[in-house]
Structure 1
Amino acid sequence: MSKTKLVIIGNGMAGVKCVEEIIALKPDTYEIVIYGNEPRPNYNRIMLSKVLQGEHSLQDIIINDWTWYKEHGIRLCTGETVNRIDIHTKYIETESGLREAYDILILATGSSPFVPSIPGIDKERVMSFRTMDDCTRMSNYSKTYRKAAVIGGGLLGLEAARGLLHLGMEAAVVHNAPYIMNRQLDQKAGQMLQHELETQGMSFLLAKKTQKIIGRSQVQGLLFADGSRLEAEVVVVAVGIQPNVDLARKSGIATNRAIMVDDYMRTNVPDVYAVGECAEHRGISYGLVAPLYEQGKVLALTLCGQKTPEYKGSVPYSQLKVSGVDVFSAGEISGEGVQTVIQTFDGIRGTYKKVLTKADKVCGAILFGDTAEGTALLGLVQRGAEVAELAPREGAPDPAEMAAAALSDEETVCACNNVTKAAIMKAIQEDGLQNADQVKERTKASGSCGGCRPMVAALVKHTHHLKSNDGDRTILQTKKKTEVPVCSCTELGHAELKQALDQILASSEECVEGLAHQLATTRQTDLTVIMQKLGWNSAHGCAVCRPAIHYYLQVSTQLRIKRENLTSEHAAVEQAAIWQQSGGRNTVPFHEVQVRWDDRIPLSLYDTDTGGLAEQLHAGLHRVEMPSPVNVGIAPGTGSLVSALVQDIGLLASPAGWEIYAGGHAEHPIKEGRLLGVAETELQAALIATACLQWYRQTAWYDEPLWAWTERLEFMSIRETLLDDQFQMELAKGIIAERQGWGNGFIREFRTDSFKTSCQGDSMSILQCAMQNDS
């Protein structure tokens, strides 16, 4: 019985990847024929720059050699360009006259370099950089000519320039944007990359528009729109790609920018599919390897009759080396609604990190110099994780290892060769691999572009760390974590840890004084017992988890003490005495509130007592433990040296009284606080600010900055929570009762009607008025 004939037009990475998947699933299902227009077997086009730079030969980048095709019964027709498809009688025809019937046809025609309409583009020694033949031409030119120009400051252009430098030529990169790789990087990362490449000998002309390529029949240079010129004997054009769709279009297959496909890679013609750079899915055509491989998997499962989730599109990302520099970029890095939540720069190490969000979800990330976190950040971007999952854990033993540990087992680490975390860890465990080079040899992970090598190295360290702690216990876990662990000592996330500690306290309820004493005298030995109950990996924990456990114990204990006892003078005196006995709670570090104010503006402009309000808040909040350091800024006016809008809590005097803001941040990531409420008096302002801080204490994760907390809980939800007068009062009293010096007189003042507004004389609070005005 004859097999169904499957014909693939295109011997590139996407089409052959689909064939590999089909062979793995059902090797005897199809008679497979592949047509390719190059005279060689399937090779890794991403690695052409490595060939140009002398790091690899053609043989090194071959993915499947001639033997592979023969072993799997695949007929490979090289050097053949298909120029006709008859979709009615189901056959194809090549330029040389070959005809091939098909039952199922896959179009994997890829793309070609985009050639801009610049006068002189057809001159001799003007070329693109796309194939192995292009590498050979550039190598030959370098033997005669010295000056080269590369039009295009994207990834391909930079790799071409680096190759030209290796060949001994001068390489000037011309780019029409203000910084290089502007589609993948921001300006800071682009400038860092440019500086590094300049040290390698590359030169740059940025924000330049090429108006004409100078020369008669042969190129002599470039003329720019501003009238300046650049001498050049060789010009490489690398400004992008365009899908190869002419064959499909003239054959009656629906096309737009590329060949239009559905979620199973089907075209509008029965039994004709498209995959790779030539395919357009939901309006998008991808030029990166990972999406093409994802498409190939879906198509292979479809053709093998197996159930498969539909292809829903891919998050574009790049994790690679650009001329020896590790660079990572994923998701949306600019556009409407995109905000920066993390931005760090280390000038000594030459590293940079930026994480972006949209609608309070992680939407993009950039790493430069150290890309170990790349795969973990990609996972956050792909699933649109909450901002809270980015909460920093300073003091962690090894950020790279923590990023490796946070990955789920099924996460793909090496997109070029489709190697998962589980496969890498299994190889390390079973074969006793000791370094990233051995992993590459065994699994091919990091064997192509090299961008995932930092993560592979981190996984080696992580696997050995687990093995040393757990002996012969199976390392790999199949359950995907739903929360990022607090630290490497545990698998519990912050929410799980809080819940577990609350259950421990609930199992041994004691009197008010006993709970207060237990809280204030908690020392390392007590924390060790708790860690044992929670199944900690480390007997004594670490600098990350110890203060977190102490903090959650404190908050949980306070909430269990009866409110009437908590606010009594007896409880306040008891806690103050215990404070002294325990040495001021100095057994673990804690975060506190810093109150800043500015009295330089004449107070006659406003009817306010800035100093009095500042002293009141300082006395009430001094040494009250917070999840993260809190800055409270009090400004008597808009011209104050203290900016209320970039503080965690900002109080700004105005002719109407006080405006209270929350969620600001003066450092990276810079955040402007949002209006929490409006108050007529200092007392009312103190009440709102104090209630907000207590709500923050009760609901934030340890080490979660106040601005991140407002985004995780959603600012409007926080503000509406604080609208309730009674709940607002209870929250404020929770902090007040902790401070003996806060004064019962102040509590009694809270109980008067002085904090009510004059809105029609009803019981509506200041915050309710603020809500109406703000909306």
Structure 2
Amino acid sequence: MVKKLVIVGNGMAGIKCVEEILELEPGQFQITIFGAEPRPGYNRVLLSKMLQDKSSFEHIVTHDWAWYEENGVRLYAGERVCNIDIAARTVETETGIKEPYDILILATGSLPFIPPIPGAQKQGVIAFRDASDCETMAEYAKTYEKATVIGGGLLGLEAAQGLLNLGMEVEVVHNAQYLMNRQLDRTAAALLQRELQQQGMRFHLAKKTVNIMGRNRVRGLVFSDGNRLETDLVVLAVGIRPNTELAEDSGLKVNHAIVVDDYMRTNIPGIYAVGECAEHRGISYGLVAPLYEQCKVLAKVICGRETAPYEGSIPYAQLKVAGMHVFSAGDIREERNETAVMEYDGIRGTYKKVMMRNHAVTGAILFGDTAESNSLLGMVRRGAPTAELTSQDRGVSRAEEEAAKLPEEETVCACNSVSKGAILRAITIDKLKTVEEVKNRTKASASCGGCRPLVAALVKNASSPSAIAGAVAAPAVQEVVPVCGCTHYDHDSLKTAMVTARCQTPVEVVTRLGWTRQQGCELCRPAVLYYLESLGLRDRSASGQLVGDVAIQATAQRSGEWVSASLRFTGLMDLNGESQLFSESFQIGGEAFAEAAWLKKRLSAVWGSRTLPAPIAVAVCPGPEYPRGVLVHDIGLSRSPAGWEVYAGGHADHPVRQGRLIGVEENAEEAVLMATACLQMYRYNARYGEKMWEWIERTDVLVLRESVLDATLRSGLAGNQRDYNADRGTG
């Protein structure tokens, strides 16, 4: 039975949850989203872009109307949920729409904080929080000239930048002694202020507004020191507060925000909270990256997947403020920390400061050049020793140096969770040449833009002559990574050596190939046993074993990679009961459904008990009326008007990979032969633990396609399986 999942909130956190759930379990939930704004999903980080010349709301949309329809998500836009009936498990909107739920996610976000200043309700006083506020500011700019922003934090500076773009005179009033005082120190703030003043902003620091003048609409501000400032428009950007009214009215536990545990669960079973409205271990986060980290955990919880608990996030901001790159992470307070490193370049306008406590890195600030942000963030998260801060000048820019030494699994774009490896694969496979092409392909730098220098460095490094030459010569100079510490062989050379040395047992592998540990380890034991099996080397009658078959088998199964049943089927063919299978068949044609059932049975008989480098997921679809994610499985077989389409190399989890079309066969028996040939090539040639999509990307799908489309070679591949030949007479 499909569960009903309701999300209250169509903001960045709510949609991210849906994206993660769709990647993990497409089709498992009937998803409904309620959004208070009459708009599709958009990026709030880019609100100021709406106020730039020739820009509009469409430029910041992340999920257009078509996305909801294509993914089977029902969106109630412009519908504010006002009540949760916990007993009946329903939500109700202000217009009377009721929707039942099995699982409810509250992603209600936050509201602008309106300070208790007399006159704050006058006409011409607005907040800066959503797209409607931007539209209001644009309308005022058509009539009025002078605008004042109260708030010198990130949000206030973004609003001020937008008003400048609209052609207004802009004053910024801030109650602290320097800008962005929660993220920057005085030096970085002074650099930022200087740049903004050159753009035309004027600042009034350490000022407290005590009154907003004007009879019906705003005419000016009065400060606590008695000074006044004339203005036509006041934009309040002094902070946000979690939107918890719905939760409070419904009986959920609320402190500063909705209280959740390490799995984003509230005190009411079946109800979760995520994003700015959630409070985890006493903290509610207002930045994108922590919200996305919460969404990943919550999606796995809802989909029934194992996941590590969410243990909180290191607060950091990697931003582009009015054209200047700014990064801040961790604890930067001088009263609690010492300065480990400080670098200031007045000519280039760059600044770096790293804080430490007890010789461990605790915080960092970068201004102007944020190329080191990822490595510094990693140090802050680990509490790395300050000795790691030493660097060498290699004659390249700092961005290029950081890009080169960043591990491939490290995240480059925190807003969209894009790793260095994903960017490099896109650059290589799609032959990307510019940052814009990378952004369009991967979404890296598409949000706040703070990672753009690092993305640019990756593009430059990947396209440099040395990188190209290295890529061409990669097979000859590639670093050999041993299977484990017991041997100097990597996976490929180990297989060759086992064949050359005619090893038939694990003991022979150890003695003939010079293992350093006679008992092996948890990494090599299952790999050795697998290669003996898959290469047809193993003498089953031999008694000599590495540590005994039982121990090897147990180790392999614990690893989660090699198991006796490596094939599993998903989707339609998992329906229980023959009667249900064939009652469904009348809707799509009995012949197609019977073929699908036979195909699944045949593949199960052939491969259900055979070992493979990694577990394989197979989707069998008897027709377009029953889409079952064929393109996001290792092997996908789909009935079409031309016959059976065979796909290979799909992957539903992150990073998502679309299966490649291998070929089309007229009947199910030939489709089984093609799928079998694909699996046999994978079994022979892949490295132990290497997933099918990884093997195809490493070796090139053309090699696989040309091999299995050759009728003679395909028959040979299929005929080499004793289990397959024995099964051909059954059905």
TM-score (norm 1): 0.60
Asked whether the equivalents of residues 44 and 63 of structure 1 are also in contact (C-alpha less than 8 Å), the reply is yes
1:189 has 2:218 as partner: no
The residue aligned with 1:121 is 120
Superposed, 1:705-716 pairs within 5 Å as none
Q: 1:46 deviation in Å?
A: 0.7
CA distances 1:636-689 after superposition (whole Å, capped 9, x unpaired): xxxxxxxxxxxxxxxxxxxxxxxxxxxxxxxxxxxxxxxxxxxxxxxxxxxxxx
Aligned counterparts of 1:412 and 1:361: Cα–Cα separation in 2: 22
Alignment of 1:12-51 (within 5 A): 12-51=11-50
How far the C-alpha of 1:442 sits from its partner, in A, is 1.6
Output the CA distance in 2 between the equivalents of 1:252 and 1:181. Answer: 36
Amino acid at match of 1:469: G
Equivalences for residues 693-708 of structure 1 within 5 A: none
Residue equivalent to 1:234:
233
Q: Which amino acid aligns with 1:63?
A: T
Query: 2: distance between equivalents of 1:447 and 1:406?
Result: 23
Deviates more, 1:447-456 or 1:402-411: 402-411
Q: Deviations over 1:610-642 (max 9, x none)?
A: xxxxxxxxxxxxxxxxxxxxxxxxxxxxxxxxx
Contact 2:145 2:232 in 1 (8 A): yes
Counterparts of 1:340-359 in structure 2 under 5 Å? 340-359=339-358
CA contact (8 A) 2:331 2:362 kept: yes
For structure 1, which segment, 285-294 or 379-388, has the greater mean C-alpha deviation from structure 2 after superposition? 379-388
CA apart distance, 1:472: 4.5
Residues 749-768 of structure 1 correspond to what in structure 2 (within 5 A)? none
1:405 is paired with a residue whose SS is helix
CA distance in 1 between counterparts of 2:221 and 2:79 reads 36
**Following the alignment from structure 1 to structure 2, what is the Cα–Cα distance between the partners of residues 296 and 398?**
35
Q: Would the aligned equivalents of 1:337 and 1:359 in 2 still touch at CA under 8 Å?
A: no
Structure 1 distance, partners of 2:429, 2:473, is 11
Secondary structure of the 1:403 match is helix
- The runs of 5 or more residues in structure 1 that have no matched partner are 480-775
The aligned counterpart of 1:297 is 296
Q: Which amino acid aligns with 1:19?
A: V
User: 1:89: Cα distance to partner?
Assistant: 1.6
Output the amino acid matched with 1:227: G
Answer yes or no: is the 8 Å Cα contact 1:331–1:381 preserved in 2.
yes
2:208 paired residue number = 209
Aligned to 1:471: 472
Q: Distance in 2 between the 1:476 and 1:238 partners? A: 53
Flag the 1:459–1:478 CA change in 2: closer, same or farther, 3 A: farther
Task: Report the residue type matching 2:167 in the other structure.
Answer: G
CA deviations over 1:11-62 (Å, ceiling 9, x no partner):
0000110100000111011000000011111111111111112363211211
1:663-678 aligned at under 5 Å gives the runs: none
The 8 Å contact of residues 5 and 32 in structure 1, kept in 2 or not, is answered as yes
Summarize the Cα distance change of 1:427–1:340 in structure 2 as closer, same or farther, 3 Å threshold.
same
Who is 2:102 aligned against? 103
* Alpha carbons 2:52, 2:166 under 8 Å: kept: yes
- Structure 1 residue 282: deviation in Å? 0.6
Deviation at 1:283, TM superposition (A): 0.6
Aligned equivalents of 2:79, 2:59: Cα separation in 1? 24
Distance in 1 (CA, whole Å) between partners of 2:369 and 2:321 is 13
- Distance of 2:121 and 2:253 partners within structure 1: 31
1:337 shift after superposition: 3.0
2: CA distance, partners of 1:254 / 1:477: 54
Please say if residues 18 and 299 of structure 1, whose CA atoms lie closer than 8 Å, have aligned partners that are also in contact.
yes
Q: Distance in 1 between matches of 2:285 and 2:362?
A: 18
Aligned to 1:225: 224
Matched, 1:448 2:476: no
Count matched residues. Answer: 478
1:280 and 2:259 equivalent? no
Question: In 2, distance between residues paired with 1:294 and 1:174?
Answer: 34
The 2-side partners of 1:394 and 1:160 are apart by 39
Deviations 1:711-743 (A, max 9, x none): xxxxxxxxxxxxxxxxxxxxxxxxxxxxxxxxx
* Residue aligning to 2:83: 84
> Shift of the alpha carbon at 1:392?
3.0
Q: Deviation of residue 278 (structure 1)?
A: 0.2
**Secondary structure of the corresponding residue to residue 67 of structure 1:** helix
**Aligned amino acid, residue 210 of structure 1:** T
Counterpart of 2:64 in structure 1 is 65
- Other-structure match for 1:179: 178
Counterpart of 2:104 in 1: which secondary structure?
Answer: strand
The answer to whether structure 1 residue 417 and structure 2 residue 419 are counterparts is: no
Written as runs of structure 1 = structure 2, the 5 A alignment for 1:605-684 is: none
Aligned partners of 2:478, 2:282: CA distance in 1, in Å? 39
Q: How does 1:353-502 map to 2 (within 5 A)?
A: 353-464=352-463, 465-473=466-474
After TM superposition, give the deviation of residue 395 of structure 1 in Å.
Answer: 4.9
* Aligned counterpart, 1:11: 10
In the TM superposition, residue 317 of structure 1 has moved relative to its aligned partner by 1.2
Q: Offset of 1:467 from its aligned partner?
A: 3.6
Alpha-carbon contact 1:409-1:476 (below 8 Å) kept: no
How far residue 145 of structure 1 moved from its aligned partner, in angstroms, is: 0.7
RMSD over aligned CA atoms reads 1.7
Q: What percent of counterpart residues are identical?
A: 59
TM (norm. structure 2) is 0.64
Amino acid in the other structure paired with 1:243: P
Contact 1:436 1:460 in 2 (8 A): yes
SS state at 1:92 partner: strand
Shift in Å, 1:473: 2.1
Alignment check: 8 A CA contact 2:258 2:277 kept = yes
Verify the 8 A CA contact 1:265 1:295 in the aligned structure 2.
yes
Q: Which digits, 9 at most, give the CA deviation of each residue in 1:436-460, with x for residues without a partner?
A: 1221122111112111100101112
Q: Distance between the aligned counterparts of 2:130 and 2:263, measured in 1? A: 29
Offset of residue 477 of structure 1: 9.6
Q: Any idea what the Cα deviations from partners look like across 1:457-480, whole Å, max 9, x if unmatched?
A: 11122333444335342799999x
- Post-superposition Cα deviations, 1:234-282, rounded to whole Å, max 9, x if no partner, equal 0000000000001101111001000000111000100000000000001
Does the Cα contact within 8 Å between 1:422 and 1:476 map onto a contact in 2? no
Shift of 1:428: 1.1
Deviation at 1:396, TM superposition (A): 4.5
- With over 3 angstroms needed to count, the CA separation of the structure-2 counterparts of 1:477 and 1:58, relative to structure 1, is farther
Matches within 5 A, 1:539-558: none
- Cα distance in 2 between the residues matched to 1:117 and 1:477: 64
* 8 Å CA contact 1:375, 1:455 repeated in 2: no
- Residues 427/374 of structure 1: CA separation in 2 closer, same or farther (3 Å cut): same
Distance 1:252 1:477 in 2: 59
* Contact 2:394/2:401, CA 8 A, preserved across alignment: no
Whole-Å separation in 2 of the counterparts to 1:477 and 1:177: 54
Q: Distance in 2 between matches of 1:390 and 1:403?
A: 12
Give the letter aligned to residue 202 of structure 1: M
Tell me, what secondary structure is at the counterpart of 2:444?
A: coil
Larger Rg: 1
SS in 2 for 1:294: helix
| CA positional deviation for 1:421 | 0.7
Q: CA deviation at 1:86?
A: 1.3
Q: What amino acid is the match of 2:434? A: N
- 1:102 Cα shift? 0.6
- Cα separation, 2, equivalents of 1:268 and 1:76: 27
Residues 4 and 103 in structure 1, CA contact (< 8 A), matched pair in contact too: yes
* Partner Cα distance (1:359, 1:406) in 2: 26
Name the SS of the counterpart of 2:241 in structure 1. strand
User: Once the 2 structures are TM-superposed, how far is the Cα of residue 406 of structure 1 from its aligned partner?
Assistant: 2.5
Distance in 2 of aligned mates of 1:55 and 1:306: 45
- Contact kept, 8 Å, 1:409 with 1:477, in 2: the verdict is no
Q: Contact 2:49/2:60 (CA < 8 Å) preserved in 1?
A: no
Give a deviation string over 1:153-191, Cα, whole Å, max 9, x none: 001101111111111111000000111011111000000
The corresponding residue for 1:153 is 152
- 1:425–1:476 Cα contact (<8 Å) kept: no
Matches within 5 A, 1:315-326: 315-326=314-325
Ranges in structure 2 where 5+ consecutive residues have no aligned partner: 482-731
Structure 1 segments of 4+ aligned residues over 4 angstroms from their partners: 474-479
Per the TM alignment, residue 373 of structure 1 is displaced from its structure 2 partner at its CA by 1.1
